[in-house]
Structure 1
Amino acid sequence: MKVGSTKSAVPSAPAYNSHEFWSSLSPAGLSDVVKQLFRIPSSNALSRAGSVLLSGPSGSGKLMAVRAVCSCLNLHLFKVDCVSLCSDTSGATEEKVQMAFTQAQQYHPCVLLLKDVEVLGRDRDRLGEDARVIATLRQLLLDRDPALSHPVLVIGTTCKPQDIPTDVQTAFLHEVKIEAPSEEQRKSMLSMLTASLPLGKEVSLSKLARRTAGFVLGDFCALLSYSSRAACTRIQALSFPGGLSEEVERDFCTAGFPVLEEDFSVALDQLHNAHSQAVGAPKIPSVSWQDVGGLQEVKKEILDTIQLPLEHPELLSLGLCRSGLLLYGPPGTGKTLLAKAVATTCAMTFLSVKGPELINMYVGQSEENVRNVFTRARAAAPCIIFFDELDSLAPSRGRSGDSGGVMDRVVSQLLAELDGLHSTREVFVIGATNRPDLLDTALLRPGRFDKLVYVGINEDRESQLQVLSAVTRKFKLDPCVNLTTILEKCPAQLTGADIYALCSDAMMCAVKRKVEWIEEGLDTESSALILTMEDFLQAAASLQPSVSEQELLRYRLIQQKFAAC
């Protein structure tokens, strides 16, 4: 006999498949958050109203964790997007908020999910707060009727907890934060997400977990989507050079095909390129030691400081490891290139920060920018933070000359963040400056930038030859090119930037010659560009050192001063 639908106060428990990631009651990487949320209503036995503020990065799985808790507690989920509650007037917004809570009461016991709760309480211009809406929301969160037999648990989610009005944030009785997953959690996420995906034998989830530092659940979903698309493109190019129709391509993708390691590499490159467009997104650089010529002693000192704690953490269990490294010396000697090569060698994400870009005209914004840099680095650990032009970010306090004391507060914030790195052994800070004498002396004390490495110019021909070989290793040279002879025609003291300029000028000479030959019909555009000895000699004739003798003497005195400290 057919019967009509009836409203149920308690939803029936669905039959979940334990192998499905999206229907799991304890999702990989989110089980700790689910347990925290589970304890809150369980401890209260739903005897009184409760509220939770759930924060975490975008795509970290906040909604999924809430759904898992609802399934564990056998509760309804009533989801409300707070953007849809915002109206042109405060009264209309207030009415919509009250209506959302009233509707949730009809499904009790249930969880009322307020998505993006930070948008409530902001005025239309987003420059101030709407006191009327804030008061209403606070009253609904705190002054709920405790006599209800089946109260509603309110969970507000946000990606920007700092944007929530203080009165709203304090109205939530509990706060739960979703942190960036660790390497082990990333591996378990990948293992569950790829359970039904055919993988190649060479695919290593452990290696993939190391390469995806800073990724959250949404990033892994995008990674699998990109890698599957790359595998489809690869197989189509091999089996169907002429292409496929849309219907046949859909059937082909439905049939399934193995995803290889090269497909994951292509997908990772696409994701890193997409992330690098965001401001300050950490990225693993692709600079090898072959790109850095000479500087052998500097390389050894840097690797001993950074690579040793990563490879043998058990030997440094006391935490007495250095996390700050300062590279100083003349401009153009390869300080930035060294930092990138270390990040590539140690498979660490690289967060490059230019000193002046953190300075903001608004009060408190510069200090917040510094805090955000270290927050992103901790989320993407193991990570190297590289501060270029550090002297512009951390000059000596009391001498900056700004009326508001902005630079003094920025230096103090930077010192506080450096002191907080002792609890995080997988975040290293490398600073580079041409003027170490302008830095605040507190930065150079033990526990901060306590390892100072001088990166000087290449004065001997052997070091210059190593740099020149590193720069020209990707060029196509004429067999008659002799790098030693080229250096003999150059000035005695050259930086790495000078040698790079030499090769750039030689390349330009070769390009001009090839263009002339093409216009005269003596060559074709498809032929390779070959650099000759004449190109290098012509470039060497006009080469001028970027560091004068007086500047070099000043840097040597600075080196002696810091070596004596």
Structure 2
Amino acid sequence: MGTGCCQHLGTIGDASQLVLHFKDDDQPQAAVEMGGNFQPIDVYLKQITLELGGVDKHARTLLQAILHRLDGERKGSDVTAEPGVGAIVSGLPGVGKTVLAKAICKSLGVQTIFLNAADIFQTYVGQSEAQLVKIFERAMLQSPSILLIDGIEAIAGARRGLADSQSALEIGVLGALLASLEKIKASSHRVFVLGTTTRLGDMDAAVLSNGRLDQVVNIEPPTQRERLEILRVMTRTWQADELNDAFLNQLSETTGGFVGADLLSLCQKALQCFLNEAAANKKSDSVVRPHHFEKALAVTYPSVLQTHHVSQKKQQPESTSIQRSAVGGSGGLFAGVYGMQDAIQSLQVSLIEPLQDCSRFLAFGTTPPKGVLLTGPPGSGKTHLAHAIADVVRRHGLASFVSVQCSDLLTKIVGDTEKALRELFATARNAAPCVLYFDQIEGIAPLRGFDTSTEQTFDRMLSMLLVEMDGFNTSRAKLERSLASDEARIAFLKQHVVILASTTNKELLDPAILRPGRFDVHINVEFPDEDARCAIILDALSKIPVAYSADLALDSREALARYMAQRTGGLSAGDVSTILREAAMACMRDDLSAVSVAIKYVTQALDAATSATPSSNMADGMVLASNRNAGNSGMRFKRNHGTTRRSATDTPRASRNRYKANPPDFYLLGEQYPAFKQ
């Protein structure tokens, strides 16, 4: 043809095949026929899993949707269906949405146009819509092609009406997006639009319907098996014999709630620990070892919990062991907790054991409790016990622990309190297995019918709490006998969220939240007995230099601890510790140069503490108030001149009638303080 400089070899048609060979590459790239025929899905899936771990299911779903659009005439199929224009990949930040989308585009070898949705918006009117239309036209000219839009919610936000602050620019860009999707749908161009988003609920319904981006692939936080695959891929080239499958399996169980970005951060921190150690020791033959991961794990936490107060104690490397120990007594997992053997045993069975091994519950055909309620008088050690549980589940890698102050959930904006509570439970589900701790839960679950505010904040908040406790299937995970033990355990831990709460008076809580199925286990925490007080004092004396005296037969730490334990009956653990602290302060007030605390300061502090009994404090004009609803409905007890009377002057008339019909059992205070028994 032409002038003869070229030789006519043939005509390129639909049956022609183009194979690309690159220099220094023995294997050709994925062959793409001019007619649009692709290789089987398993070929592409194998390439993707070499780069990413734990994405088999989602990658296969996306590949099927893409190939259906780009290669509609699949061989061996007698039934044809109208292919969708695109799909949406949703999930939490860091789960790997964009990385997976890019890996799929790379494996297919087709033309890919990457677009950051936030870059569409321009300064002048009409430029944003024109730029978006231009990008879609470019994708159609280069078909078969994939248009990857990262953060698509920026240009596909939901239309919320005239009262909303949504600008005309956003509405115009949304209209241009819908028109471009319709143009691709009506044409024969083989273009697939793949969008990623972290806020699927904020997208306009028109984008997700009518054959546009109607297929949604939701990527959840990885399971234990998927985390193991991710860790294998990340540590494949590290050349460390100690990082075998057994260690990586333990590490994957320890990192519950971690997403792909968190695991990458963990590996990077472990590698940094190795580099710092190698630089300090000047070793050139060092390799990454398990203790590097243990150091990194002590300072790495699930990103989904960053907005909440998580158990994030900086522990010593030797205490951050990934190996799980058997549940023992208070000297084992709950070291430092004294006088709570019954409470610890109940917590081990109802909370710790399901996290360690749920096979026993599976064998008995039952499910673990959904909620555990700690009750007891102030100072009995409920919060201290909850902190001990947080240390156990974090140190042994059993679960995430989220501590919530109920007062932090209250806001002045109507509806924001329920929204904060709903988002809190959603976060706990994403970080499962998770322990959600509510301190002083009576602040958000009071008796209904006593909220006299216009907005009925506390009643609405209690209703939301009940809905969330019944709505998520945590402890009611499907533990079926037909499932294998490992599969059942993985399925259980993936959705296990247990609620731990504490209150000083169970009578202040609404009965609906106390029924079985919500707070199944009620654990009463009492003041420590004499042996427990002796153990507490011994532990405190080990940190204080005391000059023991032989004259008072207090010549040893054990003798002083037993003497103090006998005289501190009815005091809490905090009161006992305060005695020794006050003795040390009195010694320093007298002589700052003293090297030890004389025994006289201990006896003086002990005499002062034991002489101030709760009864005398109550008789000294102390006023107790139940002021649950910011003073709107209060019941006060006043002690004036030896008489006890009840004042409800602050309570509206309607509320006073409800008090008469169903009075709260505030007279239980008389059982604790004899001054009320009149």
Aligned mates of 1:21, 1:223 — CA distance in 2: 26
Give the distance between the partners of 1:11 and 1:57, measured in 2 at CA: 38
CA distance in 2, matches of 1:382, 1:295: 25
| Post-superposition offset of 1:187 | 1.4
Partner of 1:144, secondary structure, is helix
The amino acid across from 1:212 in the alignment is T
How many angstroms does 1:239 deviate by? 3.2
Please give the alpha-carbon distance, in whole angstroms, between the structure 2 residues aligned to 1:107 and 1:116: 23
2:286 is the counterpart of 1:257: yes
Amino acid at match of 2:277: R
Give yes or no for the alignment of 1:548 onto 2:630: no
Residue 188 of structure 2 is matched in structure 1 by: 148
Equivalence for 1:266: 295
Structure-2 residue corresponding to 1:279: 307
505-514 vs 173-182, which deviates more? 505-514
Question: 2:373 is matched with which residue?
Answer: 326
**1:138/1:200 CA distance change after superposition, 3 Å:** same
Higher-Rg member (1/2): 2
CA-based RMSD? 3.7
In 1, are the aligned partners of 2:70 and 2:192 still within 8 Å (CA)?
no
1:47-126 matches, within 5 Å, as 47=72, 48-88=83-123, 91-120=126-155
Aligned to 1:336: 383
| Unaligned ranges ≥5, structure 1 | 2-8, 241-251, 523-528, 559-565
Residue in structure 2 matching 1:400, options 451, 476, 481: 451
Secondary structure of the structure 2 residue equivalent to 1:449: coil
Q: How big is the shift at 1:97?
A: 2.2
Greater mean alpha carbon deviation, residues 478-487 or residues 363-372: 478-487
Structure 1 Cα separation of the partners of residues 142 and 135 of structure 2: 11
Matched, 1:159 2:198: yes
Query: Which residue is 2:513 aligned to?
Result: 443
| Residue aligning to 2:324 | none
User: Counterparts of 1:370-449 in structure 2 under 5 Å?
Assistant: 370-419=421-470, 420=472, 421-424=474-477, 425=492, 426-449=496-519
Aligned counterpart, 2:215: 174
1:14 positional shift: 4.0
Q: CA deviation at 1:261?
A: 2.0
Q: 1:310, CA displacement in angstroms? A: 3.5
Structure with greater proportional helix content: 1
Determine if contact 1:21/1:193 at 8 Å carries over to the other structure.
Answer: no
The higher-RCO structure (CA 8 Å, 6+ apart) is: 1
User: How far is 1:382 from its partner?
Assistant: 2.1
Tell me by how many angstroms 1:406 deviates: 3.1
Where does residue 29 of structure 1 map in the other structure?
A: 54
Cα 1:119–1:513 change in 2 (3 A) is farther
CA distance in 1: counterparts of 2:230 and 2:423, whole angstroms = 26
C-alpha contact 1:494 1:545 (8 A) present in aligned 2: no
Counterpart secondary structure, 1:468: helix
Deviations 1:197-242 (A, max 9, x none): 13363771122112211111111111111111111212222338xx
Aligned mates of 1:34, 1:513 — CA distance in 2: 73
Query: Aligned in 2, Cα 1:113/1:430: closer, same or farther, shift over 3 Å?
Result: same
Contact 2:448 2:459 in 1 (8 A): yes
Cα distance, 1:375 vs structure 2: 2.3
**Corresponding letter in the other structure for 2:420:** N
Give identity over the alignment, percent: 23
Q: What is the aligned partner in structure 2 of residue 197 from structure 1?
A: 238
Equivalent residues in 2 for 1:445-524, closer than 5 Å = 445-458=515-528, 460-471=529-540, 480-482=556-558, 483-484=560-561, 487-488=564-565, 491-506=568-583, 508=585, 516-517=592-593
Q: Summarize deviations over 1:123-169 as a string: whole Å, max 9, x none.
A: 9xx9535322222223333453433242x211221223334344445
Contact 1:22 1:64 in 2 (8 A): no
Q: C-alpha offsets along residues 431-485 of structure 1, whole Å, 9 cap, x if unaligned?
A: 1112322212110111001211111222x32121223344555566667445425
Change (3 A) 1:103 1:49: farther
Q: How far off is 1:268 after superposition? A: 1.5
Deviation larger for 544-553 or 206-215: 544-553
Which of 216, 219, 232 is matched with 2:259 structurally?
A: 216
Distance 2:373 2:213 in 1: 44
Q: Distance in 2 between the 1:86 and 1:510 partners?
A: 70
- For 1:348 and 1:457, locate their aligned partners in 2 and report how far apart those are by CA, in whole Å: 29
Per the alignment, residue 306 of structure 1 pairs with 351
Pair 1:469–1:289, CA change in 2 (3 A): farther
Which amino acid letter does the alignment assign opposite residue 80 of structure 1?
Answer: L
Shift of 1:368: 2.7
Contact 1:328 1:453 in 2 (8 A): yes
Work out the CA distance in 1 between the residues paired with 2:251 and 2:502. 31
Name the counterpart of 2:328: none
Q: Give 1:51 deviation, angstroms.
A: 2.0
Does the Cα contact within 8 Å between 1:200 and 1:261 map onto a contact in 2?
A: no
Q: Which amino acid aligns with 1:85?
A: I
Residue aligned with 1:442, SS: helix
User: Counterpart amino acid of 2:352?
Assistant: Q
Alpha carbons of 1:507 and 1:369: their partners in 2 closer, same or farther (altered >3 Å)?
Answer: farther
Q: Is the 8 A contact 1:489 1:541 kept in 2?
A: no
- The one-letter code sitting in structure 2 at the alignment partner of 1:324 is G
